[in-house]
Amino acid sequence: DSRHLLASAEKIAQGEGSRIDGYFEDSADDPPRSRMTSGIREQILSAISAHLDQDGKVALDAVGDAAVQHGISLPKLEDLSNQLIALQTTLFETSQASLRADFWASFLYREAKKTTDWLATAQSQNYKLPPELAKQNLDLQRKTKASIAHLSDTQERIATCIPSGKGSDPTIQLVTEEEEQFLAVLSHKKDLDAQLMVFQGLPSDTNKARDEVDILRQKLRGFTSRRDQAFESLVEQASPVKRRQ
């Protein structure tokens, strides 16, 4: 009820003040009328304050303090509400940043404590190296040597691939010669492929392939012998001596 009464009184006061300001707008330099305006406002505010209960007075004082804090001469509840919302937002963001800072501080404290404890343990006389550390060290040295050897091999390959000295830049003649050599190698490869096509149907086992080749050779010799016999018989039949007999 006090809040509704305060809001209604504020609206009435603002309406009366606006009407009085508009009425005396053209005579603002007239001291008697200005004093009359301020007197009416003071009477209205005094009447409002006199009829407020304790909660209303506290609310009015809070509104006045908020207006003074934000530098607002004629405070409006809407403006004060926006300012309070902005303050609440800033307060929430600040609290979140503070929580994050506390989290990082506790995390760093735990890590620092772990490091300090480990350092104290390592510096003590009873500290002994882990038994698997020697094996890990040997494995690491072996991997390092293998990497160095691989790196040296790679560097040598790169050095052999990179041309050195003057006059080693490719020329048209050099490219032409390389192309001719490549075409010759390609032609030789085609000839070898043609020769290999003959043995394409043979088994992969060498002994079986040799036996199959021998069988094919025997068949070839048989066909050759039959061909020769057929040719000789044809020659004998066509011979004139044979016809006279």
pTM: predicted TM-score of the whole model, two decimal places: 0.32
Q: Is 187 exposed, middle or buried (0-12, 13-18, 19+ CB in 10 A)?
A: exposed
pLDDT tier at 158 (50, 70, 90 boundaries)? confident
Q: What is the pLDDT of residues 145-157, one digit of tens each?
A: 888 888 888 888 7
* Torsions phi, psi for 214 (to 5 deg): -60, -40
Distances (CA, A) of 131 to 47, 125, 128, 134, 240: 91, 17, 9, 7, 108
86-122 burial, b at 16+ Cβ within 10 Å, e below that, comes to: eeeeeeeeeeeeeeeeeeeeeeeeeeeeeeeeeeeee
Average pLDDT of 205-233? Answer: 82
Structure-block tokens of residue 72: 């607002």
Highest-confidence segment of 48-52, 53-57, 224-228: 224-228
Q: Residue 70: which of 16, 78, 25 has the closest Cα?
A: 78
Least confident of 23-37, 124-138, 156-170: 23-37
Q: Characterise 71 by phi-psi region: left (phi > 0), alpha (psi -120 to 50), beta (else).
A: left
Rounded-to-integer distance, Cα 53 and Cα 216, Å: 127
pLDDT value of residue 27: 46
Residue 236: φ, ψ to 5°: -65, -40
Q: d(Cα 79, Cα 73) in Å, to the nearest integer?
A: 12
| pLDDT mean over 23-43 | 56
* CB 57, CB 49: distance < 8 Å: yes
Largest CA distance in the chain: 176
Of the ranges 100-109, 171-180, 234-243, which one carries the lowest mean pLDDT score? Answer: 234-243
**Model pLDDT, residue 18:** 57
Instruction: List phi, psi (to 5°) of 55.
Output: -65, -40
Instruction: Report whether 56 contacts 24 (CB < 8 A).
Output: no
